[in-house]
Chains A and B, each alone.
Chain A
Amino acid sequence: MRLEARDHVPEWLTFLVPILAIFFSLFVAATLLIIADAPPLESFYYLIKGAFGSKNAIAETGARATPLILTGLAAGIAFRAKFWNIGAEGQLYAGAIAVTVVGTGAINLPSTLMIPFLFLVGALAGAVAILPSVILKQLFKVDEVVTTLLMNFIIILFVSFVLDGPLKDPMSMGWPQAASIVDSGVLPQIMERTRLHFGFIVAIVTALMIWFILGKTTFGFKIRAVGYNSSAAYHSGHSVIKTMILVACISGGLAGLAGVTETAGLKGYLTLDLSPGFGYTGIAVAMLAALNPIGIVFSAIFLATIYVGADSMSRAMNVPTYLADVVVAVTVLSVLISLVLTQYKFYFKSNSK
């Protein structure tokens, strides 16, 4: 079998990529369901019902999509510059810690100021969390995959520490959690009596902003240029180091924003299980959307659907909830296959004598 690069990839083919990927992951999901003794169609019904079957369900899906959009954007923008930020999980928690430090009573502002302030603090914390990795990369050429990843473990241990000690909520009766965010800082609900909060809007607006930056500004141009070919970008007068650091900080900041939405929007306070892997799922979100910011919104909603739906489906059909994680993982891999399928033509071995 031989691969030959296509000269020009037609537009419609690139749209096929996520569609193929989704179909393939659902196929794998169906297979696993069969192995788990659960009829696939019935299971999928429960999945869809769980994600969209009621006002509450839709709100849950939207609430789950919120951090995924942000971590997806974090991964997307970093990967564009070929900066492999796997540390979104840690950066998210960094944002959450920061928001807890300033938002549980230390500072009190009216809502219209407090909420933007919290977002700012969270983003800064996320950017700071990624800074060591990008500096090590620029100064010492240390691979950022491993450093951002190891930072995740370090930051989560730090969260455990602060929850045991400095930020422990005295009223939580021994349970490791922090004090609640003050009322003025809590993100308002946008759907009554549901968990869907303002963070969802923030996430979508952020996605639009990133889309604009990437496509219509010189900075976005630089990000793409550096990502495709940093040497040529350098020769044309662009500062690769500055661009990379900025991109990395924005990426970290976006993940930090996710920490804010979860702490000040969804949960109301910091706990150790604030994020069930949103940082890692964000990578899948970004890949599925081919790193496109608008696509990331849809891809995040899709994966949120899978997670929320799988929750209720697993209860109804007695299937381990890890099915959702498998689907996400398969999605990443099937996107890769689809990408190769669309960018290359396959030739099967034929010996011409």
Chain B
Amino acid sequence: MIIDFFEILLNAGFWAATIRIACPLIFATLGELICERAGVLNLGIEGIMTAGAMVGWTAVYLGADLPTGILYAALVGALFGLLHANFTVHLGASQHVTGIGITLLASSLSYFAFRLILPSSTTPPKIEAFQPLQIPLLSDLPFFGPVLFQHTGFTYLAFLSVPLTMWLINKSPFGLAIKMAGENPMALEAQGINVLTIRTLAVMIGSAFMAIGGAYLTMSAFNAFYFGMINGRGWIAIALVIFASWKPKQALLGALLFAGLDAYQVRAQQLAGAFIPYQFFLMLPYVLSIFAMVIAAKKTRYPKALLIPFRRGERH
């Protein structure tokens, strides 16, 4: 019986599921990472993911093609990011409260708009979501085929966004400006670069990522929009950013690790469901996130200017 628990790890389905489950987390964690590197804590992530999920899905439902749906989601994410930045970056309002306000706003607007467009029905309507791609030769490999090469295009996009973010943060001048904005914004200003602009853009880009992560759920993982479907993934992403020490590669690792534990928990449920109620398995992701934060807390080097609003003229 115990052996069954180990056998889960040999199952190709488990690994494929891990990759699928990781995708929204990858987008969300990278998005939050970009915001925080610039010095802004974006607690609106859960709401923005909800909005992305709803907008992406609805766009497709109303006739757009899938890639355009992603674009709409990203756009809406960026708009909420702009709103967040207006409060936190330009007005210097509390990043904690603003984030919670944005989460409430983005979620409630999403639900409101959804209900407006689609009045209640017993069965939630579906769309034609992203289908797994067939890659010649690779998709048919034993074990590695289903694990790595039978995913949707959206999934590959998620993994591509990691090197993209790495390039952005570490190799591009814009990325250096973002890092500087989060470490010592006065140094940035000393070079004549507008800190507020950089932070705003970073938050917008990060929020777009988050929204795309939400859209993944309704356009690739599933094909319908449910209320409460984000289910805390946004908050988990915040824990993962700290766990990843604000580095994109480690964010990927964290997301995969977490997704693996989540995929495992689902399968373990089926085995042990008789003894341990399923709710405790469902609790695991959240408990683990808290643990991740505790472990990471000791070694962290926060971006120095995180949470501190920047005002021109108010120096030192």
Q: Could you list which residues of chain A lie within 8 angstroms of chain B, going by C-beta atoms?
A: 1-5, 32, 35-36, 84, 86, 132, 136, 140-143, 145-147, 149-151, 153-154, 157-158, 160-161, 164-165, 280, 283-284, 287, 320, 322-323, 325-326, 328-330, 332-333, 336-337, 339-340, 344
Cross-chain contact A337 with B112 (CB below 8 angstroms): no
Cross-chain contact A336 with B98 (CB below 8 angstroms): yes
Interface centre among B109, B238, B280, B314 (most CB of A within 10 A): B109
Q: Could you list which residues of chain B lie within 8 angstroms of chain A, going by C-beta atoms?
A: 43, 83, 87, 90-94, 96-98, 100-102, 104-105, 107-109, 111-112, 115-116, 231-232, 235-236, 238-239, 242, 277, 279-280, 282-283, 286-287, 289-290, 293-294, 297-298, 311-314
Residue A146 contacts which of B93, B235, B277, B311 (CB distance < 8 angstroms)? Answer: B235
Can you list 20 A-B pairs with a CB-CB distance of less than 8 A? A3-B92, A86-B100, A136-B294, A140-B297, A142-B290, A146-B235, A153-B283, A153-B286, A154-B283, A160-B279, A320-B115, A320-B116, A325-B104, A326-B105, A326-B108, A328-B104, A329-B101, A332-B100, A336-B93, A337-B87
Cross-chain contact B232 with A150 (CB below 8 angstroms): yes
Residue B277 contacts which of A32, A84, A161 (CB distance < 8 angstroms)? Answer: A161
Enumerate chain A residues within 8 angstroms of B236, measured Cβ to Cβ. Answer: 150
Enumerate chain B residues within 8 angstroms of A2, measured Cβ to Cβ. Answer: 312-313
Cross-chain contact A325 with B293 (CB below 8 angstroms): no
Closest to A32 in B: B112
Known interface pairs A145-B43, A336-B94. Does A325 touch B232 (Cβ–Cβ under 8 Å)?
no
Cross-chain contact A158 with B283 (CB below 8 angstroms): yes
With both chains docked as a complex, state the minimum distance between the C-beta of B228 and any C-beta of chain A, in angstroms: 11
Cross-chain contact B277 with A165 (CB below 8 angstroms): yes
Cross-chain contact A150 with B102 (CB below 8 angstroms): no
With both chains docked as a complex, state the minimum distance between the C-beta of A221 and any C-beta of chain B, in angstroms: 23
Main secondary structure of the interface of B (DSSP, over half): helix
Residue B96 contacts which of A145, A153, A165 (CB distance < 8 angstroms)? Answer: A145
Cross-chain contact A142 with B87 (CB below 8 angstroms): no
What is the bound-complex CA distance between A322 and B96, given in angstroms? 23
Cross-chain contact B105 with A333 (CB below 8 angstroms): yes
- Count A-B contacts at CB 8 Å: 129
Cross-chain contact B101 with A157 (CB below 8 angstroms): no
Cross-chain contact B97 with A336 (CB below 8 angstroms): yes
Enumerate chain B residues within 8 angstroms of A332, measured Cβ to Cβ. Answer: 97, 100-101, 104-105
Enumerate chain A residues within 8 angstroms of B297, measured Cβ to Cβ. Answer: 140-142
Enumerate chain B residues within 8 angstroms of A132, measured Cβ to Cβ. Answer: 290
Enumerate chain A residues within 8 angstroms of B298, measured Cβ to Cβ. Answer: 140
- New A-B pairs, 16, CB < 8 Å, besides A145-B96, A150-B232, A329-B108: A149-B235, A150-B236, A150-B289, A150-B290, A151-B286, A161-B277, A283-B100, A284-B104, A323-B112, A326-B109, A328-B104, A333-B87, A333-B98, A336-B94, A337-B87, A337-B93
What is the bound-complex CA distance between A157 and B278, given in angstroms? 9
With both chains docked as a complex, state the minimum distance between the C-beta of B104 and any C-beta of chain A, in angstroms: 4
Cross-chain contact A320 with B277 (CB below 8 angstroms): no
What is the bound-complex CA distance between A32 and B109, given in angstroms? 9
Residue A336 contacts which of B87, B109, B235, B293 (CB distance < 8 angstroms)? Answer: B87
Enumerate chain B residues within 8 angstroms of A329, measured Cβ to Cβ. Answer: 101, 104-105, 107-109
What is the bound-complex CA distance between A164 and B43, given in angstroms? 33
Residue A36 contacts which of B107, B116, B239, B280 (CB distance < 8 angstroms)? Answer: B116
